[in-house]
Amino acid sequence: MCYSLSRAAVGIVILLLFASCEHENVPNKEMVSLLASISRSEYSPRNTFCPEAKLHYYDSLLSKASNIADSNFLQYAVARTMIELGDEEKAMQMSGRLLQHIPVYEISQKQAVMKNMAIACLRFGERSNCIRSHSGESCVFPIAGSGIHGDKTGSLKAIELFQQILASEPDDLESRWLLNIAYMTTGDYPAGVPPAYLIKGLDADTASGIKPFIDAAIPAGLNTNNMAGGSIIDDFNNDGYLDIITSSWGLGQGMRYCRNNGNGTFTDVSEPSGLKHLTGGLNIMQTDYNNDGLKDVFVLRGAWKEKFGKEPNSLLKNNGDGTFTDVTKESGLLSFNPTQAATWADFNNDGWLDVFIGNETTSEDDILPCELYMNDGKGHFTEVAARAGCAIVGFVKGVTSGDYDNDGLTDIFISTLNGRKVLLKNGGIQGNNIVFTDVTAQAGLANNRTRTFPTWFWDYDNDGWLDILVSGYEFERSLAWYAAEEALGRQTGNSGKIFLFRNKHDGSFEDVSEKLGLNKIAFAMGANFGDIDNDGYLDMYFGTGNPLFQSLVPNKMFKNQEGRRFIDITTSARVGNLQKGHGVSFADLDNDGDQDIYIDMGGAYIGDTYQNSLYLNPGQNNNRWINISLEGVTSNRAAIGAKIKVTFRDNGVVRSVYRDVNSGGSFGSNPLLQHIGIGQATEVESIEVKWPTSQVVQTFKGIPAGEQVAIREGNPSLVKHTYNSVNFLLAGNRIIDCGPVEKKLK
C-alpha cells in the first residue's frame, strides 16, 4: 500500500490534528482554529475535493447495493476515489475484479473501467519512480535519462490497457497521448509504440541555442511535496538574500518558509515563523501594507470549491524577528469568499498599498462580487468596491494591475472562466471616492469570450506601454486530448490558447497572439515572466493542468525574440514537467546573474501531491544585467507601481528596457527586486525611476553592468551592493538544511 493508514482514516487524522492545534500554544491560534473549523465543515461527499468523505459515502451505499448494476457503478466510483486518495494499488485491484464481472456486451462500461485502471497504473508508476525515487529528470517531458522508470510495472500494465482501449476506440486521442507518455517512461518511445498509435516528434528539440535548465530542488532541499499551491520568492528578513515561501490549498497542509542563509544553505523556519500551522492557500503574494520595510504575506483561499470555498484570506504581518502574525481580522480584511486572485497597488496614490480581490461567483444563488479594500495608513482597510464601480461579478481566476494608459493611475484587468474580460480604468478620486470605469469595449477586449485563467500586465516589446497577457482555460475533455490534437496538427478553436494584447497607445489593444507565434496551447494555471537570457526581453513560463489525473501535459516555456515573436523552448530547456503546475516565480536564487524558475507542483487531491521544482538556469550566454531595488518615501515603501526605464548601448545600438515594479503574474510571485538584462552593454547609460505617488522622475547615469543598486525616493545618490555568486546548488560541499533530511552536495 502507498500509505500505512486506511483511506477513510486519512481524513479523520487530519481533523484530529486540527483539533489538537486548538488546544496547543501555537502562533496565530485564532486563524488556525478558524481554519480547523472550516475544514470540518468541508468534510462532505458533496464536496468534489473531499475524497475521504466521498469514499465513506460510496462504501455505505455499496454495503446496501441491491443489484449488480448499482454494485458495479459504486465499485467504479470507489476505485476512482482511491486514485484521488493516492491508493493506486487498491484502485488497480478493484478495477481488475470489476472487469471480470462486467458483461462482455457492456462495452462502454468496460472501456470506462479500463481507462480508470490505466490511469491508476500510470499513477502507480509515477509514485513508484517519480515520487519515491525522485530525480531532477522525473516527469520532465519528453521523458529521458533518469526520468525513465526503473520499476516499469505500472507503465507496462498501462500500455497493455491503453492498447486494448484504442483497439475499440482508435480515435480516442486522450488514450493515444497517454499511451505515448507511458512508452516514454519505459524508454521505448518512439520505436516501441505501435505505428497506428504513434504521435511522432514528441521528443524533438523545440528550439536551437537553448541550454537545458537543471532541476536542482532536491540538492537544495526545496522539493516540497504538496498539493497545488502558491510561491513567493523575496527577501523577508532584509539580509540581501532571497527566501522562499510556499503554500498548499489543502486545509491539512501548512505553509513552508525556507530562509536563505546567504552561504549556500536554506533553513526551514516554518515552525518558528508561525507559518507551519497556517494551512490552505492556493495562491500567495507579498506586500508591505504598513510601510515598515518588511514584506508581509497575503494568503488567498477557497478557490474552485464553490459553496465549500467559504474560507478566509489571511494577511500575515512580518514582525521583523522571523515571525509572522495573522492580522486579518483587526485589519478589516476578514471575508469568506472563494478566491485565488488579488493584486496589491496604491490605487489612490496616497502612499499606502490597497488590495483588489477577484472572487469566484459560480452560482446565481450566491453572488460574490469582487472586493476593493482601501488602506487608511493606520493598519486598517475599508471595502469600497461597490461605490468605486469595481464590484465585478464573475468566476474570476486572475487579476492584475498596472497603468496601461500612462496617466499616473493604476488600472485593473480581470480574467474569468465566464469568458468575460474586464478592463477597469482608474479615474482617480471623484468627490470622496476612488472611481473605476469599465472600458473593456473601448479597449477592444470585449469580443474575446474565451474562458481564461492567469493574466498580467507587462511591456513585452519595450515600447514603454503596458500590454496584457491572458491564458485560455477552455476545455470539454481532459487536457491529454488537446495535447494530442496539437501534436497531430488537428487543433481547432481556442481551447487552452495564449492571448497577447498589444497596447496601441490610444487606450485600445490589438490581439497579436497569432502574429507573434502564440497560437499554442498551454492550459495554464500558474504562470509568470522573467528574462532568462538577459537580452532585456521578457520570457514566460506556464504551469499547466487541471484536476483530472489524465491531464498529464507538460508545463510550457516561451522565449521572447526581441518583441517580434515567441518560440516554444520547453523541450530544449528541459522544463516541461508533466505534473500539475501552479505558483511560478522567476528569480536569481544562486546569485550567478541569470534568472532561475521555482514552481509549486501538485494537484487538487491528496493523492496528487508532487515535489516542487527549482529549474536552475545554466546561463544562456554572456549577456549582462543590473539589479534595481527601490524604496518609496512619499510613495509606498515597496515601490509597487514605480516605473523604471533603463537605457544602454548594446552592440553599438542604444536601447531602453521598461519595467513596472510588481511581483509579475497573477499566480506566483517574483521578487520586487527588478533583475534587468542589458545584452552586451558594459554599463547602463541611465536609470529613470518614475515614482507612483509624486510622479517625480529621478535619473541616475553611468552604472557599470553587474551592479545591484538601491534607490530611495528623493535621494540623489545610489547605494551599491556587492553581488557575489554563491553557486550553492551544484558545486562545493555545503549542507542544504531546508527539509526533513540534511543533504550534502557531491
357-to-257, 276, 391, 409, 549 alpha-carbon distances in Å: 24, 24, 10, 18, 30
Bridge partners (DSSP) of residue 613 are 599
Residue 602: closest CA among 86, 20, 38, 136: 86
43-to-228, 563, 609 alpha-carbon distances in Å: 19, 49, 19
Cα separation of 373 and 163, whole Å? Answer: 55
Q: Which residues contact 744 (CB under 8 A, 6 or more apart)?
A: 733, 734, 735, 736
H or E element, residue 286: strand 283-287
State the amino acid at position 730 in one-letter form. L
Q: Where in the chain are the domains?
A: 65-186, 624-721
CATH of domain 624-721: 2.60.40.1110
Q: What is the pLDDT of residue 726?
A: 53
φ, ψ of residue 15 in degrees (nearest 5): -65, -35
Cα separation of 49 and 124, whole Å? Answer: 21
Cα separation of 260 and 267, whole Å? Answer: 7
Cα separation of 590 and 598, whole Å? Answer: 12
Q: Are 514 and 576 in contact (CB under 8 A)?
A: no
Alpha helices in 283-412 (DSSP H): 328-331, 385-388
Q: Which fold has domain 65-186?
A: 1.25.40
Residue 606: closest CA among 91, 85, 122: 85
Q: Are 459 and 465 in contact (CB under 8 A)?
A: yes
Q: What is the pLDDT of residue 722?
A: 59
Cα separation of 78 and 607, whole Å? Answer: 14
H or E element, residue 571: helix 570-573
Question: Which three cell numbers, joined as nine digits, stand for 710?
Answer: 538601491
Cα separation of 166 and 193, whole Å? Answer: 13
Q: What is the DSSP letter of 210?
A: P
State the amino acid at position 49 in one-letter form. F
Helix (H, G, I), strand (E, B) or coil at 342: strand
Cα separation of 418 and 209, whole Å? Answer: 40
Radius of gyration of the chain from its Cα atoms, rounded to whole angstroms: 25
Q: Are 219 and 657 in contact (CB under 8 A)?
A: no
Cα separation of 539 and 595, whole Å? Answer: 11
Q: Are 535 and 561 in contact (CB under 8 A)?
A: no
Q: Could you give the angle at the alpha carbon of 418 between the alpha carbons of 417 and 419, nearest 5°?
A: 90
Q: What is the pLDDT of residue 724?
A: 58
Q: What is the pLDDT of residue 741?
A: 29
Cα separation of 620 and 402, whole Å? Answer: 30
Exposure on the CB side of residue 191, measured as CA atoms within 13 A: 3
Max Cα–Cα distance, the chain, nearest Å: 83
Question: Which three cell numbers, joined as nine digits, stand for 570?
Answer: 520547453
Q: What is the DSSP letter of 31?
A: H
Cα separation of 545 and 576, whole Å? Answer: 12
Bridge partners (DSSP) of residue 141 are 576
Q: What is the pLDDT of residue 295?
A: 98
Q: Do you know the residue count of the chain?
A: 746
Based on DSSP, count helices (H) and strands (E) in the chain, helices before strands.
14, 42
Q: Are 198 and 180 in contact (CB under 8 A)?
A: yes
Cα separation of 465 and 414, whole Å? Answer: 18
- Scan for cell 503574474, then name that residue: 665
Positive or negative: CA dihedral 739, 740, 745, 746: negative
Cα separation of 238 and 320, whole Å? Answer: 9
Q: Which residues contact 549 (CB under 8 A, 6 or more apart)?
A: 83, 119, 122, 123, 603, 608
Helix (H, G, I), strand (E, B) or coil at 314: strand
φ, ψ of residue 690 in degrees (nearest 5): -105, 115
β pairing state of 624-631 and 708-712 = parallel
- Scan for cell 496565530, then name that residue: 28
Residue 536: closest CA among 654, 706, 708, 678: 678
Q: What is the pTM assigned to this prediction?
A: 0.94
Q: Give average pLDDT by consecutive 10-residue segment, the chain, 746 residues.
A: 37 47 73 96 96 96 92 95 97 95 87 97 96 93 96 98 97 98 98 98 90 92 93 96 96 95 84 96 98 98 96 98 98 97 98 98 95 97 98 98 98 97 97 96 96 98 98 93 94 89 98 94 96 98 96 97 97 97 96 95 96 96 96 98 98 97 97 98 97 96 94 88 53 34 27
